[in-house]
C-alpha cells in the first residue's frame, strides 16, 4: 500500500473506533473552506457516512470564498451541512483588538459546535494539524478543542499532499492558509515564515530530536530560534490545566486512566 492510502485507511478507522467506543455514532466539525477542515470532513464522511455533519460558521469578516468553497466540498463528497452565522454573537460582545477578537470568534464557533454535539449526540472532531499544535497557532478552548483529532500528527506541508490524494477541490488546495479571523489575515504573514520553512525544522526538532546546535548547522538562526521559542512558549496549549495536588490520587498527576476504560 502507498503512504497516503495507508494513512487514509488508518485515520478512517481511528475516527470510527474512537467515536463508537464511547457509545456514540456521530461526529461533527467546523468547515471553513480551508484545507485542514476539508481533509477532516472527507475522512469523517468516509468513516461515519450519514452520521457526519459539517457546520459552516461564518462571521461578518469571513472571506467570501469560505462558504462557496466549503459548499463545493460538501457537494463533491455528499456531506450534510448547516450554516450558522456567528455575527450576532460577535456584535453582542465588541472587542477592538484583532487578536482578542479572533480568539473570541474561534471560541464562539467552538461553543456552537459543542452545543450541536449535545443536540445531535455527536463528538467534535478536531482539525488542528501538527504544525499548529507545535507552534501553538490556534485558540485555546477555541479551534484547538475537540474530542478526537485525526490530523494532529501531520504537518501542514503533509496536509497539502494528503488533500490532493483525497481529491479535495483545487479552490481549497490553492488558497493560502488563513485563520480567516480578520480581513487579510494569513498564517504565513502572521507567523513570519512559510510552512515549507517551518515544517522541516519542526520535524527535525520534534520527531528526530535534533538539538538546537544541530538545527543551527542546517537552518537559518532566526527561524530556529522562532520555532524553538514557539514550541516551548505554547506547551500549555497541549496540556490539561494544572491541578493543585492535595490528595494521594490527583487528576492529571496520579489518576491517569485512559479515557476509553469502560466499567
Ligand X SMILES: Nc1ncnc2c1ncn2[C@@H]1O[C@H](COP(=O)(O)OP(=O)(O)OC[C@H]2O[C@@H]([n+]3cccc(C(=O)O)c3)[C@H](O)[C@@H]2O)[C@@H](O)[C@H]1O
Residues tagged in the binding site annotation for Mg(2+): 36, 132
Q: Which does 28 bind (CB under 5 to 8 A by kind): ligand ATP, ligand X, Mg ion, none?
A: none
Instruction: Report the alpha-carbon distance of residue 77 to residue 71 in Å, rounded.
Output: 10
Residue 102 near ligand X by CB under 6 A = yes
Residue 123 contacts ligand ATP per CB under 6 A: no
Note whether 56 binds ligand ATP by CB under 6 A: yes
Residue 234 found at the interface with ligand ATP (CB under 6 A): no
Angstrom distance (rounded) from CA 207 to CA 225:
17
Q: Binding string, 145-174, against ligand X, x = CB under 6 A?
A: ------------------------------
**Residue 154, phi-psi category: left (phi > 0), alpha (psi -120 to 50), beta (remainder):** beta
127 binds Mg ion (CB under 5 A): no
Contacts of residue 211, Cβ cutoff 8 Å, sequence gap at least 6: none
Interface stretch with ligand ATP, choices 19-27, 32-40, 146-154, 243-251 (CB under 6 A): 32-40
What are the beta bridge partners of residue 31? none
Work out how close the CB of 79 gets to ligand ATP at its nearest, in angstroms, rounded to a whole number.
13
Which H/E stretch holds residue 197? helix 195-202
Any contact of residue 138 with Mg ion (CB under 5 A)?
no
Q: Which does 127 bind (CB under 5 to 8 A by kind): ligand ATP, Mg ion, ligand X, none?
A: ligand ATP
Nearest to 32 by CA among 89, 81, 90: 81
Nearest-CB residue for ligand ATP: 34
Mapped onto helix, strand or coil, the DSSP state of residue 53 is strand
Amino acid at each position: 500500500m502507498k503512504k497516503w492510502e495507508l494513512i487514509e485507511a488508518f485515520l478512517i478507522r481511528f475516527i470510527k473506533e474512537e467515536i463508537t467506543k464511547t457509545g456514540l455514532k456521530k461526529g461533527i466539525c467546523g468547515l471553513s473552506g480551508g484545507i485542514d477542515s476539508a481533509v477532516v470532513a472527507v475522512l469523517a464522511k468516509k468513516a461515519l457516512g450519514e452520521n457526519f455533519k459539517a457546520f459552516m460558521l461564518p462571521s461578518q469578516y469571513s472571506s467570501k470564498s469560505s462558504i462557496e468553497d466549503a459548499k463545493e466540498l460538501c457537494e463533491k463528497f455528499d456531506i450534510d451541512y448547516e450554516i450558522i452565522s456567528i455575527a450576532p454573537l460577535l456584535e453582542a460582545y465588541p472587542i477592538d483588538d484583532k487578536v482578542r477578537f479572533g480568539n473570541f470568534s474561534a471560541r464562539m464557533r467552538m461553543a456552537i459546535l459543542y452545543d450541536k454535539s449535545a443536540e445531535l449526540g455527536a463528538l467534535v472532531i478536531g482539525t488542528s494539524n501538527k504544525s499548529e499544535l507545535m507552534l501553538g497557532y490556534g485558540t485555546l478552548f477555541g479551534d484547538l478543542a475537540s474530542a478526537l483529532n485525526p490530523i494532529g500528527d501531520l504537518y501542514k506541508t503533509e496536509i497539502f499532499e494528503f488533500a490532493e490524494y483525497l481529491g479535495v477541490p483545487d479552490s481549497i488546495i490553492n488558497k493560502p492558509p488563513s485563520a480567516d479571523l480578520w480581513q487579510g489575515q494569513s498564517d504565513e504573514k502572521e507567523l513570519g515564515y512559510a510552512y515549507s520553512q517551518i515544517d522541516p525544522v519542526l520535524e527535525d526538532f520534534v520527531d528526530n530530536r535534533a538539538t538546537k546546535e544541530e538545527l543551527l548547522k542546517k537552518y537559518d538562526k532566526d527561524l530556529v530560534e522562532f520555532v524553538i521559542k514557539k514550541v516551548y512558549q505554547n506547551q500549555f496549549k497541549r496540556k490539561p490545566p494544572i491541578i493543585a495536588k492535595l490528595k494521594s490520587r490527583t487528576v492529571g498527576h496520579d489518576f491517569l486512566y485512559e479515557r476509553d476504560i469502560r466499567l
